[in-house]
């Protein structure tokens, strides 16, 4: 059954518009709607030497079939000012957020079965006077979601995070029983409900070196993590750990798990990005909608050059399709 997905190109001066256009060279199994400036896509296609037919759609006139190779559905969203590859402009900060709002609201009203996002530039949005900490937090507020979980995935490995963009000195205090319970329950629920895994096995990292070395290198494992895991095991969640992070990411452990839960950003993501950078996907769990994203930034220096790889965006698409119920595709 054909579904419909929103595709947001993110920062207009970055490689997001390029990714959307390069992707349009190939046919997709579902209808993709770029929520973007039609003028931006047209000018960037000319710069890249691509012949892509832009087919305008809008609420009440949504496509019901996948578009052919060489075409792209576009929900025209006006820029604040004409964008130029590689040149950030605060005048377009509101445009970026409007594309996200349109796509997110479209998912909520079921115009779209999910949304896939290209990278935004947080700095220029904040410089424009708009408080913005990232896609995840923005979409959580838009959808009225109290708790979300960031998970990155590549083929053969999924890594979810208990804490995300925190200074390292604040991480230990943020590892609480309440936070751990919320994160693990969300991870379990979405692995079952959105990835179709009947009984997921989750490996849990310790916070400290050697998972605390029996309390000699920290007591968070003894006082917080292990008691919380034990409580959740009684709920039927298959949890292994806490394990030392330096040995958890080895074939012996990963072979029989469906996801790894890391305590902080740079504990789990360097391993995942080493394994799959350029072919990984960022997934926001806990939302009432499906949202995936690429695993890289705006790459301003490469915008308009054509020297980019669409691998991460393709994995983000495949993952969104799977999460929305297309079990014919391999998951991340």
Question: What pLDDT is attached to residue 136?
Answer: 86
331 pLDDT band, cuts 50/70/90, is: very low
Q: How far apart are CA 272 and CA 155, in angstroms?
A: 10
Q: Coil, strand, or helix at residue 49?
A: coil
Residues 6+ apart with CB under 8 A from 242: 204, 205, 206, 207, 211, 212, 221, 225, 226, 229
265 a known binding residue?
A: yes
Confidence label for 277 from pLDDT (cuts 50, 70 and 90): confident
The pTM is what? Answer: 0.88
pLDDT at 133: 84
> Is 165 annotated to bind ligand?
yes
Cβ distance 95 to 11 under 8 Å?
no
| Confidence tier at 329 by pLDDT (50, 70, 90) | very low
Q: Mean pLDDT, to the nearest integer, of 116-126?
A: 96
d(CA 10, CA 135) in angstroms, rounded, equals 10
* pLDDT mean over 27-32: 94
Rounded (5°) CA angle 169-160-149: 85
- Check the annotation: does 282 bind a ligand: yes
pLDDT in tens, 199-257: 999 999 999 999 999 999 999 999 999 999 999 999 999 999 999 999 999 999 998 89
* C-beta neighbour count of 51 within 10 angstroms: 9
- Per residue in 70-114, pLDDT tens? 999 999 999 999 999 999 999 999 999 999 999 999 999 999 999
Beta bridge partners of 154: 157, 280
Distance from C-alpha of 17 to C-alpha of 2, rounded to nearest angstrom = 24
Return the biggest CA–CA distance within the chain.
63
pLDDT of residue 246: 94
* pLDDT of 184 above 80: yes
Please, which pLDDT band fits residue 1 given cuts at 50, 70 and 90? confident
Q: Confidence class of residue 332 from pLDDT cuts 50, 70 and 90?
A: very low
Q: How far apart are CA 126 and CA 216, in angstroms?
A: 42
User: DSSP letters along 89-153, please?
Assistant: -GGGHHHHHHHHHHHHHHHHTTS-SEEEE----HHHHHHTT-----HHHHHHHHTT-S--EEEEE
- The rounded distance, in Å, linking the Cα atoms of 2 and 113 is 10
User: DSSP letter string over 176-240?
Assistant: -HHHHHHHHHHHHHHHHHTT--SS-EEEEE-SSGGGGGGGTT-SHIIIIIHHHHHHHHTTT-EEE
pLDDT, position 16: 97
Answer yes or no: is 136 a known binding residue: yes
Per-residue pLDDT of 295-317, as tens digits, reads 889 999 999 998 998 989 999 99
* Half-sphere exposure at residue 58, Cβ-oriented, CA atoms within 13 angstroms: 5
Looking up tokens 């000699």 gives 216
Is 117's pLDDT higher than 70?
A: yes
What integer pLDDT is reported at residue 326 of this predicted model?
56
CA torsion, ordered 124, 126, 131, 132, to nearest 10 deg: 40
pLDDT band for position 67 (50/70/90)? confident
């Amino acid at each position: 059954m054909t579904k419909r997905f929103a595709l947001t190109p993110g920062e207009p001066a970055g490689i997001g518009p390029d990714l959307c256009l390069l992707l349009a060279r190939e046919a997709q199994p579902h209808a993709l709607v770029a929520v973007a400036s039609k003028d931006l896509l047209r000018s960037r296609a000319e710069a890249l030497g691509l012949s892509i037919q832009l087919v305008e759609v809008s609420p009440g006139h949504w496509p019901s079939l996948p578009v052919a190779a060489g075409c792209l559905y576009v929900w025209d969203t006006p820029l604040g000012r004409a964008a130029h590859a590689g040149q950030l402009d605060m005048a377009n900060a509101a445009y970026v957020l409007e594309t996200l709002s349109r796509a997110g609201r479209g998912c909520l009203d079921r115009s779209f079965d999910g949304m896939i996002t290209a990278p935004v530039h947080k700095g220029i949005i904040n410089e424009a006077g708009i408080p913005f900490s990232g896609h995840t937090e923005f979409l959580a507020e838009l959808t009225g979601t109290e708790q979300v979980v960031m998970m990155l995935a590549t083929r053969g490995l999924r890594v979810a995070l208990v804490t995300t963009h925190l200074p390292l000195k604040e991480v230990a205090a943020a590892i609480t029983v309440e936070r751990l319970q919320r994160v693990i329950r969300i991870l379990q629920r979405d692995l079952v409900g959105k990835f179709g895994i009947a009984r997921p096995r989750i490996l849990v990292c310790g916070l400290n070196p050697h998972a605390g070395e029996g309390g000699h290198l920290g007591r968070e494992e003894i006082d917080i993590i292990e008691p919380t895991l034990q409580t959740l095991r009684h709920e039927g969640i298959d949890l292994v750990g806490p394990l030392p992070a330096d040995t958890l990411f080895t074939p012996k452990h990963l072979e029989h798990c469906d996801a790894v839960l890391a305590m902080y950003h740079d504990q789990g993501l360097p391993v995942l990005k080493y394994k799959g950078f350029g072919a990984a996907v960022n997934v926001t769990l806990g939302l009432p909608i499906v949202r995936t994203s690429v695993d890289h930034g705006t790459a301003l220096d490469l915008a308009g050059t054509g020297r980019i790889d669409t691998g991460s965006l393709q994995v983000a698409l495949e993952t969104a399709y799977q999460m929305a119920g297309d079990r014919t595709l391999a998951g991340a």
